């Protein structure tokens, strides 16, 4: 499918304004997909949506991810966002959080395929020619479930791209076998709709191996692997990048340079290094919880 696309996965609670600014300034990404914007029964006001978009700056293309259970409210939200300049949307049908899925949103939509189709069709009708993609898992409890919903999503003619995580919703983030087999079948079921592969891509070798075995894929999305190596997307595209440890240090310092809450600094540094190898963890624990942590870039 030509040159693969490399995406940073949306990470709820992690993609702070400081992280977004650091990633942009260091040229670590070429595009953004936002964490999900949760749409309730009533569509939000433009002021709320402007505030949500503000941290993404406008320098890079932005795909806004929406999640909810009301097709009409999600469609109205997408319409308002399009009036604010957004021209690409993604529907979250993959979030495995029990708090989300218990109400039928995120991955919970996979238990109601008719409802999922209504959402896709309603939002697409509202945004016209603007791009609509879907982020989804291979099933609720069984990867064989994609045999049921992917053909229907393709047949709707509404989905321009799939972002497919190989695990089921029930599998959460557990290590499971069969990634390539599940994703290969997903690509087959998606027919001519491009598929971005998601799940456990943590190194350039992971990406190259997966794309070599599944050359029909349109690209790769990674999230937790990028946090451990913030220059990962640059490596995947064979762009200049420092060695991983230098890159981790550069990125962390850039995020916290203007002052970053201690609790968030602990969380981010643990994502980057892991608690065992975190060079800042002990020092951060000595700081007042309400303090702002700073390091010169």
- For the segment 143-172, the average pLDDT, to the nearest whole number, is 97
Q: Among the CATH numbers 3.20.20.70, 1.10.3660.10, 3.30.70.20, 3.40.50.20, which is that of 5-246?
A: 3.20.20.70
Helix pair 113-127, 71-83: axis angle to 10 deg: 30
Structure token digits, residue 246 = 């230098």
Query: Any idea where the domains of the chain sit in the sequence?
Result: 5-246
How many H-runs (helices) and E-runs (strands) does the chain carry? 13, 11
Interval 131-149 mean pLDDT: 98
Count CB atoms within 10 A of the CB of residue 199: 24
Under a CB-based contact definition with an 8 Å cutoff, are residues 140 and 103 in contact? Answer: no
Is the pLDDT score of 296 beyond 90? no
Q: Is 252 helix (H, G, I), strand (E, B) or coil?
A: helix
Q: Is the pLDDT of residue 46 over 80?
A: yes
**Spatial distance between the Cα atoms of 39 and 90, rounded to a whole number of angstroms:** 13
C-alpha distances in Å from residue 60, one per residue of 6, 8, 27, 57: 14, 13, 10, 8
pLDDT of residue 183: 98
Please report the pLDDT score of residue 1 as a whole number.
57
Q: Could you report the per-residue pLDDT of 173-223, keeping only the tens digit for each? A: 888 999 999 999 999 999 999 999 999 999 999 999 999 999 999 999 999
pLDDT digits (tens, 9 = 90+) for 279-292: 999 999 999 988 99
């Amino acid at each position: 499918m030509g040159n693969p696309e490399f995406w940073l996965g949306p990470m709820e609670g992690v993609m702070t304004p400081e992280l977004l600014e650091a990633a942009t300034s260091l040229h670590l990404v070429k595009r953004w997909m936002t964490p999900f914007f949760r749409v309730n029964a009533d569509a939000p006001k433009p002021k709320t949506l402007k505030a949500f978009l503000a941290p993404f700056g406008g320098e890079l293309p932005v795909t806004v991810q929406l999640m909810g259970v009301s097709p009409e409210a999600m469609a109205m939200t997408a319409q308002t966002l399009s009036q604010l300049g957004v021209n690409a949307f993604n529907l979250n049908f993959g979030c495995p959080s029990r708090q989300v899925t218990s109400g039928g949103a995120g991955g919970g939509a996979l238990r109601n395929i008719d409802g999922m189709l209504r959402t896709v069709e309603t939002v697409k009708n509202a945004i016209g020619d603007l791009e609509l993609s879907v982020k989804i898992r291979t099933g609720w409890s069984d990867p064989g479930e994609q045999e049921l919903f992917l053909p229907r999503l393709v047949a709707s003619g509404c989905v321009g791209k799939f972002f497919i995580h190989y695990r089921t919703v029930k599998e959460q983030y557990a290590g499971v076998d069969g990634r390539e087999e599940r994703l290969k079948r997903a690509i087959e079921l998606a027919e001519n709709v491009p598929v971005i592969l998601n799940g456990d891509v943590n190194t350039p070798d992971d990406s190259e191996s997966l794309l070599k075995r599944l050359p029909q894929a349109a690209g790769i999305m990674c999230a937790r692997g990028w946090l451990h190596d913030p220059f990962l997307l640059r490596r995947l595209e064979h762009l200049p990048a420092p060695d991983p440890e230098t890159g981790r240090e550069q990125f962390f310092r850039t995020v916290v340079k203007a002052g970053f809450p201690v609790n968030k600094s602990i969380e981010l540094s643990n994502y980057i290094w892991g608690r065992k190898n975190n060079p800042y963890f002990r020092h951060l624990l000595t700081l007042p919880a309400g303090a702002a942590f700073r390091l010169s870039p």
